[in-house]
Structure 1
Amino acid sequence: MLDLANRFVFDGHRIAWGTLGEGPPLVLVHGTPFSSQVWRRIAPWLARRHRVFFYDLLGYGQSDMPDADVSLGRQNVLFGALLAEWNISRPRVLAHDYGGATVLRAHFLDGIAYSDLTLVNPVAIAPQGSPFVRHVAQHEAAFAGLPAYAHHALVSAYIGNAVAQSLSDDVLSIYRSPWLTPAGQAAFYRQIAQMRQHYIEEAEARYAPPDFPVRIVWGEDDAWISLEQGQALADRIAGGKLIRAPRAGHLVQEDAPEAIVAAVLDGHLQD
């Protein structure tokens, strides 16, 4: 497990973060409904060549889960604040799902530059959101009041749908446990209810090939975001190149972590 021993205060809320290794900075950004533990099998390998930074998004994992704005509209601001706190500029960046949306917003809306960018099944092309997400967003209060056993089953099924190869209960528990406390249950439905299409559209309207290399890894069996959306993003910011990970779902970190390590290290060799 990754150790998030440090705390950074953002808008009065504590953000959990950690670091491994020495070398050029590489920042890892997770997505929803996960935590930085998605990188636990990947970060140690990348730390052999980099100083790797990882953190839990506001409202996720070990970070505070406030009854406040934890949407994509705040996550890119948090990302920029962390880069300033760490005193790093033009880092290498590896981001998944909503983490991908976060770093794309940080670049295209806030002007934050990277030395290179690796995206893994990012939320980046509208429309976003599964039927489950759309339904929960319309009935947040009802879901937040579910009995604990029903919430446990729902979260388990939702996370289990993110992979092509079944998760063990031990691994499932890593991602599920932050959401099972009373505060976590409310936070789980809160972050879904705050998903808004315009946060994606704001960045998407500005997509163009950036002045740094972009690699996009895509689990071919992603049940949440279509391969066609991945290719559409690659066409707009990565010269059309999409690195396909066979027999991998949305959570490529579990189904095919080697595909992510290879993509990042290939970029290092090209540098």
Structure 2
Amino acid sequence: MTRQQTASTADTDRWSLPDRLTIGGATIAAGVFGDGPPVVLVHGTPSSSYLWRAVIPHLAEQNTVYVWDLPGYGDSTSVPGEPVAIHTHARVLARLVEHWGLEQPALVGHDIGAATVLRAHLVEGVPVRRIALLDAAVLSPWVTPVAQHMQRHLDVYRTMPTHIFQRIIEAHLDTATHRSLPSSTAETYLRPFTGPSGQQRYLDQVQYFDERDTDDVVEKLGTVDVPVQILWGADDEWLDRSFADDLASRIPGARAAFVPGAGHFLTEDAPDRVAQVLADFLAESRPAV
């Protein structure tokens, strides 16, 4: 990467992006890597830009890669007075694209990051050259049964002893991948949600998972006129692979591919394969639909 910055890439280190931007009153952690056509990576939940750490170096060989933590996730703060929700994330993404001076970037989103990417383009009007959607939380029902239960019983989870809550989150994270995460990697994912403040932070995120944020996005899927790559973990236990085919059928010209032996966090199970598929897609000269 010719524009190397100081984000840590070791599982045992505390992952942190180097830049701090003020967007909509929130402090957004961000980083820029490499040189070439611009691509913005958008993580989902419950994660942060750490999800992309093994993909960034590969993509940065041929692209300028913009990475950030969603408001209320990772090292980013929430937008004052706004829920930690997809519609907020999409507005912040639109502001970031403007801040970075990107005219027509590629957007890559995972989980609710995929919904954020689509909403930024279809609702907020961000012009893009192509879109990649990974294990996308877009088509209903995308709120998982675990999250639905938490939403119905928020008071119980907010007052639950912290050590019990921590075990629940650990068990949930264990189903995010097909293979077991190394302990240091799991600890990095869990670290933002430890202790009483971490417990409240996790529940603040879950509280605002709202499928109404994707209803108008789904209505507009047929208007997408740029190349779209859908990539899915073949063994995703959170969002079944059937969502991938359904999503592809609603977007003109979109194609779906599956990563064997990968779960919902497919960048953990198969980072090299994911990076290669994305790099190939971003390098294509395939015309818009």
TM interval, short-chain normalised: over 0.9
Cα offset, 1:16, TM superposition: 0.7
Q: Give 1:10 shift.
A: 2.6
Note the 1:1-271 alignment, pairs <5 A: 1=9, 3-65=16-78, 68-208=82-222, 210-237=224-251, 239=253, 241-271=255-285
Alpha-carbon offset, residue 270 of structure 1: 1.9
1:148 is displaced (CA, Å) by 2.1
Q: 20-29 vs 31-40, which deviates more?
A: 20-29
Q: Distance in 2 between matches of 1:200 and 1:186?
A: 25
* Per-residue deviation, 1:67: 7.7
Aligned partners of 1:79, 1:11: CA distance in 2, in Å? Answer: 11
1:265 deviates by: 1.8
Moved segments of 4+, more than 6 Å:
none
Question: Which AA in structure 2 matches 1:41?
Answer: A
Which runs of no fewer than 5 residues in structure 1 stay unpaired? none
Deviation, 1:190, is 1.1
CA displacement at 1:104 relative to structure 2: 0.6
Give RMSD over aligned pairs.
1.6
Change (3 A) 1:130 1:83: same
- The CA distance in 2 between the partners of 1:78 and 1:142, in whole Å, is 31
Contact 1:207–1:236 (8 Å) recurs in 2? yes
* TM-score relative to the length of structure 2: 0.89
* Distance (Å, rounded) in 1 between the aligned partners of 2:195 and 2:29: 18
Residue 225 of structure 1 aligns to a residue whose secondary structure is: coil
- Tell whether the 8 Å contact from 1:209 to 1:239 is kept in structure 2 after alignment: no
Secondary structure at 1:199's aligned position in 2? helix
Task: Give the 3-state SS of the residue equivalent to 2:173 in structure 1.
Answer: helix
Cα pair distance change 1:3/1:50, threshold 3 Å: farther
Inter-partner Cα distance in structure 1 for 2:228 and 2:82: 33
Q: Distance in 2 between matches of 1:187 and 1:67?
A: 15
Q: Deviation string for 1:67-94 (max 9, x for gaps)?
A: 8511112110010011111111211121
Change (3 A) 1:268 1:240: closer
Could you list the runs of 5+ residues in structure 2 that have no partner in the other structure? Answer: 1-8, 10-14
SS of the aligned residue for 2:221 comes to coil
> What's the secondary structure of 1:9's corresponding residue?
strand
How many angstroms apart in 2 are the aligned matches of 1:8 and 1:227?
36
By how many angstroms is 1:238 displaced? 5.3
Distance (Å, rounded) in 2 between the aligned partners of 1:210 and 1:68? 28
Q: Distance in 2 between matches of 1:23 and 1:3?
A: 23
3-state secondary structure, aligned to 1:156: helix
What SS does the corresponding residue of 2:97 show, helix, strand or coil? helix
